[in-house]
Amino acid sequence: MRCLLMTLALYPPVEEVGNYTYGYDHCMKPFRIRMAHDIIASYGLDKKMTVLQPPRATAHEMTQFHTDEYIEYLRRVTPEVAEIMPSYNECFLPLLDCPPFDGVYEFCTISAGGSMAGARRINHGEADVVINWAGGLHHAKKGEASGFCYVNDIVLAILELLRYHQRIVYLDIDVHHGDGVEEAFYTTDRVMSVSFHQFGNFFPGTGDVKDVGVERGKYYAVNVPLREGIDDETYEFIFRRVMRDVMETFRPSAVVMQCGTDSLSGDRLGCFNLSMQGHAACVEFMKSFNVPLFCLGGGGYTIRNVARTWAYETAVLLGEKLDPSLPYNDYYDFFGPEYTLDVPASNMTNMNTRQQLERLCSEIHEHLHRIPHAPSVQMQQVPRDWPGESEESDNLPVTDSD
């Protein structure tokens, strides 16, 4: 069994990320990244890991997945441009979900840059556990934005990992289906995408258990469609069954995990009933497999709960126990009246039955056993890093753990 080398946190400039806004009435609040970082720092967790401020992604790097036209549009669009060119704008941005806010391109370069830098650290053996809570924007498509996501940092990170790793598992515990990532790798057997999500008259409407991939990728897409109200006990039951089966069958050399917190109880958009501990138990379970693990952010629209949970999951990845009473921090008033590090479940009805979950497990097990164990990949020369990457990596501002 291998030992984890270190935990690495990739914090884009927190003040910058927190200053971007999708709009006053929009439920996506980048400000939550700053709140999460502040709790992490107030517990002293930043002193127990290596912290980087990675370079921003370039347009050239982002077009490894996205089209040239789309990235060029993001570079040029402003609220004023979108207003005078509405028909052109509709080709790339669904306005209600993905408004062309001021600084949208810079915001995307920060998120994508963090995820690509984290993947390179794993590739070079510099860390086995990596965190980028500003990443996880899983809905973005090759040539358009979707579901509050403009640039798919996850796909870019996985493409980077595939340069060194034969097989990657992408795991998504956001309440919404990870459609953008699944679609990007729907025809390959080198990435197995696994998504646990609410299904049925719920955005984005994809992710049926029968959606399993096509061509070489057939049975390498695993979808776990769930009903509203699922609680910790039933979620843990199906999560452990499915992920143990996935890891034993596919045997990946790295896992990318999208930790969207809209699956928590009380989220403004999600209808699951997970507690903070139930959500974090998934992270702890994946850490137990002792393969490189890259944890990303994602959805989450009750921002005080987002910040609490990502701070707690940072501690889980570090193997640290935290006092449930929140230390004083810059956003302390957001966490009243209880001022605790906790997101409890509610008494909402769980519409998922054990019989239904057993059927799901059986169907997914059958799909997984139609693929060969640990599919072989022809050995080939690893492509060189992008020009300047090695130099950039060596010169990043770094705070080493004590």
As annotated, the active-site residues are 139
Is 93 within 8 Å of 145 (Cβ atoms)? yes
What tokens does 132 get? 């980028």
Rounded distance between C-alpha atoms, residue 362 and residue 381, angstroms? 39
Q: DSSP label at 333?
A: G
Count of residues making up the chain: 402
Answer positive or negative: Cα dihedral of 127, 129, 135, 136: positive
Phi-psi region of 131 (alpha: psi -120 to 50; beta: other; left: phi over 0): beta
For the chain, report the end-to-end CA distance as a whole number of angstroms.
25
Residue closest to 36 by CA, chosen among 329, 316, 267: 329
Q: DSSP label at 264?
A: B
Is 375 within 8 Å of 167 (Cβ atoms)? yes
Residues 6+ positions from 397 with CB-CB distance below 8 Å: 52, 53
